[in-house]
Structure 1
Amino acid sequence: MNHDGFELGLDDINNAGVYSVTNADIGPLSAAMRDAGLRVATIDLGGCRDKRTLIARVAAQLDFPQTFGGNWDALLDCLRDLGWMQANGYALFFSDADELRENAEKDFDTFLDVLEDASKTWLEQDVPFWAFVALEDAGNKHPEG
């Protein structure tokens, strides 16, 4: 990856979406996102092997409201709202996602779909929403399950 926005075209909101990166990419890319004026959050998925743990970590790191339902629909609803984290745009980094992908492939794929849906909803509001999932075999595109 290069250093000018990781070839993602950070200046074009239409490029926002879900991408795979490596753990080593998170630091420089999150700095670029902060420089672009986005709200950055990193969620550590190390040791995460199932849906329950995944959703709990995301909810805790993003400080979801106490009324959060703890399921896929509730996760999507919160990611589409983020009203408690007012920002001009969002960049979420999910480090160490390999264990989740290896142990709960269906849940991993559903999680990616949730992130894609959230990104599309934000795009309709002209707000960039980027999600970066760190995988050992990352290729800077949608992280296929």
Structure 2
Amino acid sequence: MIAEAAQAAGLALWRVDIGHVHDQHGFTGLVAKALAFPEWFGGNWDAFEDCLGDLSWHPAPGYVLLLEHGKHFGAGHKQEFVTAVEVLDGVAEYWQGQGKPFWAIVSGPDGWDAGLPPLPSA
């Protein structure tokens, strides 16, 4: 449903399976690969935020990053997960200031509480 709405709106959409992520390097590496980050990407949180705040190689009216199967990372590696969410929140705020939507959505099994705000109901 989210993917279809994003595509209908012409937004760039990426699906990243983070089901086996254990740490920052694994998380940023998967997202970097999915979004084809530039060669200069350094693999740390600052470089990750810089790349997501640029995306000039993916011109679009907005961006949606679907992080699928997030329970393992969110529950088993809480500090890294919290840092990832904080970075993604900062990126969303940056893009909001540019007049472009940026949504990072973490999915997991029914009933899983990631400790994140839920999506508003339709």
Choose which of 95, 107, 117 in structure 2 pairs with 1:142.
Answer: 117
Structure 2 partner of 1:131: 104
Contact map agreement 1:50 1:103 (CA 8 A) in 2: no
- Residues 1:132 and 1:102: Cα distance change in structure 2 (over 3 Å): same
Task: Give the corresponding residue for 2:35.
Answer: 62
Letter matched to residue 118 of structure 1: V
CA RMSD of aligned residues (A): 1.5
Q: Which 4+ stretches in 1 moved above 3 angstroms?
A: none
Residue 99 in 1 paired to residue 72 in 2? yes
The 5 A counterparts of 1:27-46 are: 28-46=1-19
Choose between structure 1 and 2: higher helix proportion.
1
Count residues in correspondence. Answer: 115
Give the SS at the match of 1:85.
Answer: coil
Q: Deviations over 1:74-120 (max 9, x none)?
A: 11011111111110100110001111112211010000001100000
Distance 2:66 2:82 in 1: 16
Whether the aligned pair in 2 keeps the contact of 1:47 and 1:99 (CA below 8 Å) is yes
The answer to whether the aligner puts 1:117 opposite 2:90 as a matched pair is yes
Aligned to 1:51: 24
Structure 2: state its 5+ residue gaps: none
Higher RCO, Cα 8 Å, sep 6+: 1
Q: Identity percentage over the alignment?
A: 36
State the shift of 1:135 in Å. Answer: 2.3
